[in-house]
């Protein structure tokens, strides 16, 4: 029995792309329309080898036990299979009632990462993404056959996808049913595969899709686009596409839930006297009022200027944490004015140290409990 790897002229460690290229090269050379009717048998042999080696599960079975293992679904001789395999061997044909295996299968799901800015998470975003995926072959329109010809009924199994055979066991001769090795259980045979997709009914191509990223989405969340994944073999339905969103860091704002948080430094005089300041938010310039006597650590909240909430029309808040900056380098005139202010407020001791005439927190605590 010929080796499928030798038939295609590839090594046993060949990748799926190498196997596909080797098949296309040989199929074009051996096709009866090119090489004549005498090459039909060799062409069918090359096609049969490709059908096994291009399928991950069939190739694994073939590597384990050759062509017979593929026909038997991986169970070697004797009692190596499952209980269902043993039952089918002795009492014959439980799998035959299932009928032929459809060629068209659902395509795989795909996962694509997308990075967005924090502003996009605040307001939402409509964007186009380009992905490489499996799409329906335009040459055969997913039929897998050249010029869209319909597959022919398998003459070995009569279209049932399975064959019966007599085997010897300790019970005597019994009839068993196995998957047809000619059509691989499909019940039909593609005698003239499409050369552009190598008889798979799909090809790899780039595709551009429009994605709606909703306001309020968080880093690591996924958006499911049903039926936008890979096309299945032989024109099978598409899987789903999942967009994994990653939100980039912002130099000014951080996100806490649905709120946007920023830090703002204000001079000591502004905190004492009060003022108005303008900061740049995602909604444009925002004027804030700092009340006289504002202490360090106070936070201001601007309602409705935060992150949009998922599946809701409202938004979180903009939170501004205030940091009062104490001057470290003072001119002589500035020092003089500050000392004068301290004297007016009664905050200066004779030797110039800053103290308070009112009892300290510690002294009040001591007097209360001693």
List binding-site positions: 137, 140, 154, 157, 180, 183, 194, 197
- Here the tokens at position 122 are 């605040």
C-alpha span between 266 and 294 (Å, rounded): 10
Tokens matching residue 44: 């069918």
Residues constituting the chain: 370
Q: Which of 48, 83, 305, 283 is nearest to 180 (CA)?
A: 48
**What are the phi and psi torsion angles at 210 (to 5°)?**
-90, 130
CA atoms within 13 A on the CB side of 114: 30
Cβ neighbours for 267, distance < 8 A, ≥ 6 positions apart: 324, 325, 327
Closest-CA residue to 345 (of 335, 333, 358) = 358
Cβ 296 vs Cβ 267: under 8 Å: no
Tell me phi and psi for residue 58, to 5 degrees: -65, -35
3-state secondary structure of 283: coil
Binding site membership for Zn(2+): which residues? 137, 140, 154, 157, 180, 183, 194, 197
* CB of 69 closer than 8 Å to CB of 60: no
In whole angstroms, give the CA distance from residue 214 to residue 221: 11
DSSP per-residue letters across 198-254? TTSSEEEEEEEEEEEE-TT--TT-EEEETT-SPPBGGGBPP--EEEEEEEPP-SS-E
CA distance 165 to 96: 12
Structure tokens at 17: 């792309």
* Phi then psi dihedrals of residue 130, to 5 deg: -115, 125
């Amino acid at each position: 029995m010929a080796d499928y790897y030798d038939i295609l002229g590839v090594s046993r460690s060949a990748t799926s792309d190498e196997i596909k290229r080797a098949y296309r090269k040989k199929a074009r050379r051996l096709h009866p329309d090119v090489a004549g009717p005498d090459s039909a048998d060799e062409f069918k042999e090359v096609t049969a080898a490709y059908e096994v080696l291009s399928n991950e599960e069939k190739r694994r079975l073939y590597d384990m036990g050759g062509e017979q293992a593929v026909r038997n679904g991986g169970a070697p001789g004797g009692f190596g299979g499952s209980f269902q395999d043993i039952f089918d061997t002795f009492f014959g044909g439980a799998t035959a009632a299932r009928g032929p295996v459809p060629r068209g299968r659902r395509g795989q799901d795909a996962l694509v990462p997308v990075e967005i800015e924090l502003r996009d998470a605040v307001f939402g975003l409509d964007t186009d993404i380009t992905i490489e995926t499996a799409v329906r072959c335009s040459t055969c329109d997913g039929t897998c056959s050249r010029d869209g010809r319909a597959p022919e009924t398998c003459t070995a199994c009569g279209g049932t996808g399975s064959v019966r055979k007599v085997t010897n066991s300790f019970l005597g001769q019994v009839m068993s049913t196995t998957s047809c090795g000619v059509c691989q259980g499909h019940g039909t045979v593609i005698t003239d595969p499409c050369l552009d997709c190598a008889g798979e009914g799909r090809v790899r191509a780039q595709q551009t899709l429009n994605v709606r990223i909703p306001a309020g989405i968080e880093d690591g969340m996924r958006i499911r686009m049903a039926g936008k994944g890979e096309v299945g073999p032989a024109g099978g339905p598409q899987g789903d596409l999942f967009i994994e969103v990653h939100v980039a860091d912002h130099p000014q704002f951080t996100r806490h839930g649905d709120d946007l948080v920023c830090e703002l430094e204000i001079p000591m005089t502004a905190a004492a006297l009060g003022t108005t300041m303008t900061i740049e938010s995602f909604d444009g310039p925002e004027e804030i009022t700092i009340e006289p006597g504002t202490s360090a650590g106070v936070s201001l909240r601007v309602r409705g200027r935060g992150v949009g909430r998922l599946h809701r029309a409202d938004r979180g808040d903009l939170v501004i944490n205030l940091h009062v900056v104490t001057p470290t380098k003072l001119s002589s005139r500035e020092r003089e004015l500050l000392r004068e202010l301290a004297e007016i407020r009664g905050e200066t001791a004779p030797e110039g140290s800053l103290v308070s005439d009112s009892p300290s927190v510690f002294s009040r605590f001591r007097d209360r409990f001693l």
